Amino acid sequence: MPKESKFNFSQAFSELEKITEWFEKGEVDLEEGLKKFERGLELAQKLKICLKDAENKIIEIKAKFSDESR
Amino acid sequence: MKIFQVSEFIEHINSLVGSEIHIVEGEVSGFSVSQGKWVFFDLKDEKNEAKVGCFMIAFRLKTPLEDGMKVRVIGLPKVHEKSGSFRINIEDVQPIGEGALRRAYELLKKKLADEGLFAPERKRPIPRFPETIGVIASAESAAYGDFIRILKNRWGGVDVQLAHVQVQGEDAIDDITNAFLYFNNAKIQPDVLVLTRGGGSLEDLRAFNSEEVARAVFSSKVPVVVGVGHERDETIADYVADLRASTPSNAAERVVPERGDIGYEIAAMGKIIDSAMERIVEEKRSILKHFGFILRGYVKEKLAQVESLLGVLKSLSPAEVLKRGYAIARSNGVILKSASQVAIGETIDIQLFRGTLKGKVIGKL
């Protein structure tokens, strides 16, 4: 969601979705599971913070559209 | 008075009247297109019989025409050099009145539909979490205000780039198509474009029903959401859009998700991961337990086997045999297995469980 930080909401969200899918498949690899578990919780935490804090930024483009192509 | 030759006369008349743009209103009659290049029709008054010929180059014709349509033509009067017939060389033609606009709308809609501009298979998905949204709207309009307000209520962290354009009137079509060009040629293109304005009459919505704007939406590399007016307003731009929103507010709703919904989704995913992890750990623990149980049983069984083997071994040892009353006879240290191994009178040793006897052979049986 926010551009200013390196954190990309869209990417983080889809990574969390993939991790969730992995767990839903019912894999039981403990080592892999622990890694994904930690990553998943970290992502969820960051995403929640993002949801709370982010503001929209509005920029008006300076170009004048009426005269551009004439 | 000057006497003209015919061609000179026509040239003279054209020089008198042919340089001033005129606007003429009337009804189209005898509309035809020749070789796909030249457009001919007569413009006539409804009340009296007056009519005037009109000519235009086909590519200049931006709006579909047909007989009976009320139009306003803009062009230069001209007398044809060869036939001497009088006509208007048209630069632009616009349908006027609700009826003509409605008809032009229907004709253009059909034409663009036949060309595939509305085809569902060409509609592109809108990214779920857009970071940059290009908005093409009038900065002062209520439509833009609504869009920004709803956007803010629903979602954050978005860069909104506003291209302020006229959404009706003379400049609207150029403004809007230029804004599409601007965003599509931008170094970093927005993730989605939103074209929006409030509702209005067909006259107000003319730009949104124009072929130029329809083609700008169609050829945009960036997916386009169009949200015009009230729910019931339908424009050609709506049909071409990748996503049609019913109002400017609805455009904001369609273009970004809602904080609460996404928060809920994140929490739900966290829960799934959490309980799945718990299940994995529980599963491993029970496997370990089960394994321990099996291992213990195995060791016990093996121990019992070893013990019984030891017993067998023990029972086979000579000492154990002697214990049961058997004896070993030897002559000079050699164990005797046959009576023929010794002669009568020889001395032999007889080992018992406890102690050894010395004896003499006194006979053989």
What pLDDT does residue B134 have? 97
pLDDT in tens, A22-55: 988 877 778 888 899 999 999 999 999 888 888 8
CA atoms within 13 A on the CB side of B337: 0
Please report residues of A whose CB lies closer than 8 A to that of B176. Answer: 65
Please report residues of B whose CB lies closer than 8 A to that of A47. Answer: 262, 266
Whether residues A20 and B273 touch (CB distance < 8 A) is answered with yes
Interval B142-165 mean pLDDT: 94
Taking the C-alpha atoms of residue B40 and residue B26, their distance in angstroms, rounded to an integer, is 14
Is residue B40 pLDDT above 50, yes or no?
yes
Q: Do B23 and B91 contact (CB within 8 A), yes or no?
A: no
**Residue B224 φ/ψ, nearest 5 degrees:** -120, 135
CA proximity to B239, closest of B56, B96, B128, B108:
B108
Containing A32, the helix (H) or strand (E) segment is helix A30-53
Q: Do B220 and B249 contact (CB within 8 A), yes or no?
A: no
Q: How confident is the model at residue B295 (pLDDT cuts 50, 70, 90)?
A: confident
What pLDDT does residue B52 have? 94
Q: Do B108 and B230 contact (CB within 8 A), yes or no?
A: no
Interval B172-191 mean pLDDT: 94
Of A36, A56, A66, the CB nearest to B175: A66
Cα distances (Å, whole numbers) of residue B187 to B121, B133, B183, B213, B255: 28, 14, 9, 22, 22
Helices in B186-243 by DSSP H: which ranges? 211-219, 236-240
Of B159, B176, B284, the CB nearest to A59: B159
3-state secondary structure of B216: helix
Helices in B116-186 by DSSP H: which ranges? 142-154, 172-185
Q: Do B166 and B172 contact (CB within 8 A), yes or no?
A: yes
pLDDT in tens, B89-101: 999 999 988 888 8
**pLDDT > 90 fraction of chain B, expressed in percent and rounded:** 62
Nearest CA in chain A to B150: A56
Lowest mean pLDDT among B132-136, B252-256, B289-293, B305-309: B289-293
Whether residues A65 and B163 touch (CB distance < 8 A) is answered with yes
Whether residues B160 and A57 touch (CB distance < 8 A) is answered with yes
Beta pairing, strands B22-34 & B70-79: antiparallel
Is residue B173 pLDDT above 90, yes or no?
yes
Rounded to a whole number, what is the distance in Å from the CA of A40 to chain B's nearest CA? Answer: 7
Q: Do B197 and B228 contact (CB within 8 A), yes or no?
A: yes
Interface TM-score (ipTM) > 0.90: no
Which residue bears the tokens 């093409």? B136
Nearest CA in chain A to B285: A30
Rounded to a whole number, what is the distance in Å from the CA of B76 to chain A's nearest CA? Answer: 22
Of B129, B263, B277, the CB nearest to A48: B263
Cα A19 to its chain centre, rounded Å, is 14
Whether residues A1 and B131 touch (CB distance < 8 A) is answered with yes
Whole-model pTM: value is: 0.72
Cα pseudo-dihedral B9, B13, B19, B23, rounded to 10:
-140
Mean pLDDT of all residues in chain B?
91
- More confident: B163 or A54: B163
Cα distances (Å, whole numbers) of residue B313 to A69, B308, B319, B322: 109, 9, 12, 15
3-state secondary structure of B69: coil
Of A40, A54, A69, the CB nearest to B174: A69
What pLDDT does residue A67 have? 55
Whether residues B129 and A1 touch (CB distance < 8 A) is answered with yes
